[in-house]
Structure 1
Amino acid sequence: MLRLNFKKILSFIHLWLGLLSGLVVFIVGFTGCIYTFSDELKALCYKQRLYIEVPGNTQKLPFSQLLNIAERALGKDRKISRAEISQKPGRSYMFRAMKLNRKAFGYWNSYVYYDKVYLNPYTGQVLYIENAKKEFFTLVLAMHMNLMLGDVTGHFIVKWSVVCFILLLFSGIVLWWPKKANLKSFKKGLLIKWNAKFKRLNYDLHNVTGFYVFFLLLIIGLTGLMWSFGLTTEKKSTLQSDTTRQAAKLPADLILQKAIQTAPGTAYFLYNFPTAKAGTINLTAYQSERHLYDRISYKFDRYSGELLMQGPSFKNLSLSGQLIAMNYDLHTGTALGLPGKIMAFLASLVAGSLPLTGLFIWLHKKKKKNKQNKALP
């Protein structure tokens, strides 16, 4: 009797957590499916702006010269904040100008501007100028992270909906667990009866698929919450550039040259320009195009080009540091390569479908209860 009452109470909690967070989980799940393979889809859809033909015996133009070309292409009212510098011969350079209003409500109000320009690093040719606010994968990511409601409102809703979803996963496993722990009972909960009527098929799709992806969704959910609660955010550095010093050589070229010499096996660099006058150039050297965790961070004096700080490589981090560094790769499945991405895709697909199948189960029970109440007199 106690077990029955416990499951009844848990079922009630499971229902209302699902009703509260269902729509958000549905949106976050299906947008997560799309974004899992965003890199592969971009390589197919945006081939002309991402890839170039390498001319024979030609060196890349100085980074400072490419920066000037990008600034002219985007216009004086756009301040470049980041450059993506691929070290592969057949890849373009990307320069990004982005200004945010994080307190604004709604996606379109959050961006003052968000533009990208792609350049051929050998010739300086402008390959494409993109209004990134309207780019498909940017919209998908915004829907996934904050429902396109802005950082304050949307982030709050998604964060606590994911908390509800984690609780739903645990309560769902308890409700799935059979009353009799024997092989026949477990087998019933592990197989989908595909030839059954809609009611039974829908019930199996909710229960059985939910069981199979439990651990995957738990990892995806918890790594998502790591971002939401700021547990992966690095502490702000107190290092500053010396505004009284000036370099003999253009700092942008000097900094990139030093970074390449320090990490010659880098796949691509993210070159972040400072907003404050005494801010440092923050440069991240990604050692792999597939894994974001394998990276080294640098801070340079923006005026002299002097290396102020070099972060540890992934293998030299503590266990907790490695887990934090791997957060994105665990969230998207890229930590395990293509098989991991496929698993993350399928798990996200199931996550998006669970609110639907759960809603149908609830509606059917409600309909059945209404019929019983009408039949009582």
Structure 2
Amino acid sequence: MKWPTSDAKDHELGTATTDSATNDEVALDDQPPMDGGLQAWLTVLGGWIAGFCTFGAASSFGVYQALYTIEGTSSASNISWIGSVQLCLIFAMGLPTGKLFDAGYFHHMQIFGTLLLVFSLFMLSLADTTKYYQIILSQGIGFGLGAGFIYVPALTVQAHHWKKRRSLAMGILNAGSQLAPTSAALTIAPRQLLWRVIYPIMLNKLINGRVGFAWGVRAAAFLTLGLLIIANFSMSTRTTHIKGQAAARGPKKSIKQVLNDGTYWIATVGGFLAVLGLYIPYFYIQLFVSTHDLSPNLAFYSLAIMNASSFFGRIVLNFIADHAGPYNVVCCVAVTSAGLVFVMFGATNTAG
């Protein structure tokens, strides 16, 4: 009988350790197992709140696009750069915030991002809407940087709590980016409250109503501050657990290995192109309806309807992605979304 060598024993031991460490039922830091529990769901709640205070506001830029264009701040093309800078910085900040996140500065980034974002909103409320540079500095750069310190880490921290049901958890979190409670809710009937939680409706009601632009933006800033404080207290990390899993998977890839990974670059470029085209309707839908002399009421609610529809898509499709695979779902949705963008150019009446 041939006894296993020392190397073979080490290999068997390493395999057993890996299997044990990657078992979802094992908590390496005496915390509850992944894919459930109060801590995990509170983190989803915090991420949900962070989503509609950051990415939700950026996705509702169509309200500002229409306002600035009508007031003659600049050309429609130049104004769209404000919203584009917002979205760009929200995701581009993933590079520095990812490094800081790994170093254990998650809550530090959340606090700094909250202060910067709220400060930028107050500066926007003081800005002269006819001065383009004031708006792009406060709303484009300032808000974008603040949101970047909040949004990407709020997404990343979900990996500390979810594995098998991660797509569903991320879908619930991202659904928050389309909804937001409104400070104007006190002025409407309780039975209508559910329909007044959409962020664009809040902005339209405040800015185009008796409140006006300055106090409308300030109301949104106060609301955002309170909600982000709740988000900060809700989210938590599981550093020891994640480090144990990383050790079980083996040594980390070097930067050179990542940069030479062709599959990674194809996925990154594909995602870049998808997002580049996907948000065109979010910027222009309200202005598009107005310039085609359609119902002012439809223009008022057009962006809100779009956001409300995506709320269900983000949850249902992410649930399917957990079973059918994320890339299979992404490919189908990307083709469908691209077709609908072209269809929009032929929609020149209310029914369309």
Both structures adopt the same fold (TM-score exceeding 0.5)? no
* Larger RCO of the pair (alpha carbons < 8 Å, separation 6+): 2
Larger radius of gyration: 1
Structure with more of its chain in strand, by fraction: 1
